[in-house]
Amino acid sequence: MTVQQDDRARGLRGLCGGAVCLPGDAAYDLARTPWNLMLDDHPAAVAYPAGAQEVGEVVRAAAANGLSVAAQGTGHGAPPLAGRLADAVLLRTSAMTEVRISPETRTARVGAGVLWGDLAEAAGRHGLAALHPTSPDVGVVGYSLGGGIGWYARRLGLQCNAVRAAEVVLADGSVVRASADSEPELFWALRGSGAPLGVVCALEFELHPVRSVVAGTLAWDWTHLERVLPAWVAWCETAPREVTTSFRVLSVGEEEAMPAAMRGRRLVLVDGAVLGSDALAAEVLAPLRALAPEIDTVARVPAASLVRLHLEPEGPTPAYASSVLVDSLPDAAVDAVLGAVGPGSASELSLVELRQLGGALAERDPRGGALDRLEGRFLALGVGLDPDPAGWARQREDARRFVDAVAPWSGRTYLPMVDERSDTRKAFPPEVHARLSAVRRAVDPAGLFMPPHH
């Protein structure tokens, strides 16, 4: 399909040192394609600013020409914007790759184009760790602004509340530093809302003195699902906050990157990390090991390696995710999960996950932002990964069926892991939502920045 150039976008042609792509340009198709290959959007223009000043120029030019702005790093979180970019400038932040680690203050300053794999390695060289996600090619900034549930979350909380400052380009093109002392309302709103309040060009956040950690995977053939899932749920009730795990049913491909013992199989996995001594880890994990896993990779490993613990796909991938926060998993809820994704369900989901929450995640962070805790004991997540477009509808259907199965026990929405455009009132308490709305009206009164969710 040929997409015509928008006359309003032609005025952006000379910006960013010429790093602006319009429909018809040789690089346009590559520029517009996000990490999530399920999307096929055609923005009015794609711009690659190298820093905050160039971002400001793009923002002012877009506003002057009646175009919206959507900032995007990797495009993992692109689906809620699907079909709405025709009148927008897609602002790619991938050229902003600054990484500065301060071992003395245990902080990092990271540009909006930096990926978590690179940051984990840089921090690890100093014996430090960040509250990173389960995939190395997720962008640091987008993940941090939306919340951030990492392998240390039950002990150290959400990544968004580790943020100490942000460099932001506002709707008028001006650049501000948002922190507890400067632009405090904007700073509060940025941390955890995922709202389009400006273009965040860099973040500064805390690191933690974690050089190594006990981590790994326990795996069973998926025919053991009905035995292992109830046992894991019961184990979670008394597990100390030093441990954060996830329970997964995973269809493993034949890729060489996958461990040979897992390839081409459907497995039940419990993976995670224990912050503490080897003796503590052995004691905590003993009830799970008593279930006789076929594979046990748990060992003390460098903290930087945990960013790849989940063996998630790296590089552009067609994916669909649906999730919900779950207050509890009583026996009836476990039965509902088994009915939706267990043997006999005919589910074709690539991944079914129940992520263990609670601990520090359930406690209000006194220094926190808009998302200062997570209300729920688990996150239920269904993910479809299928290179064949003919299978995408089925993946969506199966993901929704899984989420619907736990709906009677569910609570709020965790927006970073929802690919459907959602009502943000389901994600925040009424008073928080009202405050966020007021901040957005103040910093972007004309609605220049495109909101991913309602």
3-class state of residue 314 by DSSP: coil
Q: How many CB atoms lie within 10 A of CB 360?
A: 19
Find where tokens 């509890």 sit.
Answer: 328
Find where tokens 């040979």 sit.
Answer: 260
Alpha helices of 74-180 — where are they, by DSSP H? 116-124, 140-146, 153-156
Identify whether residues 191 and 226 lie together within a single domain: no
List the one residue out of 65, 69, 84, 50 whose CA is nearest residue 12.
Answer: 65
Please give the torsion angle defined by the CA atoms of residues 119, 122, 127 and 130, in that order, rounded to the nearest 10 degrees.
-10
What span, in angstroms and rounded, lies between the C-alpha atoms of 257 and 263?
9
Residue 116 in domain: yes
88's enclosing H/E stretch is strand 88-92
What number of CA atoms fall less than 13 Å from residue 299's CA on the CB side? 6
Identify whether residues 252 and 397 lie together within a single domain: yes
Q: Measure CA 305 to chain center.
A: 18
- 421-436 core/surface letters (b: 16 or more CB in 10 A; e: else): beebbbbbeeebbebb
Q: Measure CA 212 to chain center.
A: 23
Q: Are 20 and 46 in contact (CB under 8 A)?
A: yes
pLDDT of residue 253: 78
Nearest-10 crossing angle of helices 184-193, 430-443: 120
pLDDT of residue 410: 93
Identify whether residues 252 and 378 lie together within a single domain: yes
CATH value at residue 270: 3.40.462.20
pTM of the full structure: 0.94
DSSP state of 439: H
What span, in angstroms and rounded, lies between the C-alpha atoms of 27 and 21?
7
Residue 446 in domain: no
pLDDT of residue 247: 98
What span, in angstroms and rounded, lies between the C-alpha atoms of 95 and 119?
15
Identify whether residues 143 and 42 lie together within a single domain: no
Q: What are phi and psi of 364, to 5 degrees?
A: -60, 125
Q: Are 326 and 376 in contact (CB under 8 A)?
A: yes
- The pLDDT tens digits of the residues spanning 355-408 come to 999 999 999 999 999 999 999 999 999 999 888 888 888 989 999 999 999 999
Q: How many CB atoms lie within 10 A of CB 197?
A: 25
Q: Are 44 and 91 in contact (CB under 8 A)?
A: no
CATH value at residue 54: 3.30.43.10
Find where tokens 């030093």 sit.
Answer: 242
- Distances in Å between the Cα of 218 and the Cα atoms of 159, 297, 299, 309, 326 are 26, 7, 11, 12, 23
pLDDT of residue 311: 84
Identify whether residues 161 and 135 lie together within a single domain: yes
Identify whether residues 241 and 360 lie together within a single domain: yes
Characterise 75 by phi-psi region: left (phi > 0), alpha (psi -120 to 50), beta (else). Answer: left
Identify whether residues 36 and 103 lie together within a single domain: no
Residue 65 tokens read as 């020409």
Identify whether residues 41 and 119 lie together within a single domain: no
DSSP E strands, 284-418:
295-296, 299-302, 319-326, 351-356, 378-385
Residue 199 tokens read as 């273009």
With a cut of 70, list the residues of the chain below it in pLDDT. Answer: 1-4
Burial class (CB within 10 angstroms; exposed 0-12, middle 13-18, buried 19+) of 69:
buried
What span, in angstroms and rounded, lies between the C-alpha atoms of 182 and 275?
34
Identify whether residues 374 and 235 lie together within a single domain: yes
Residue 454 in domain: no
What span, in angstroms and rounded, lies between the C-alpha atoms of 395 and 406?
18
Work out whether strand 266-274 and strand 212-221 pair parallel, antiparallel, or are unpaired. Answer: antiparallel
Structural domain boundaries enclosing 398: 212-417
Identify whether residues 393 and 261 lie together within a single domain: yes
List the one residue out of 406, 326, 324, 310 whose CA is nearest residue 358.
Answer: 326
Pick the last residue of a domain from 163, 187, 209: 209
What span, in angstroms and rounded, lies between the C-alpha atoms of 401 and 338?
12
pLDDT of residue 258: 77
- Rg of the chain taking only CA atoms, in angstroms: 22
- The pLDDT tens digits of the residues spanning 198-245 come to 999 999 999 999 999 999 999 999 999 999 999 999 999 999 999 999
Residue 352 in domain: yes
What span, in angstroms and rounded, lies between the C-alpha atoms of 234 and 330?
9
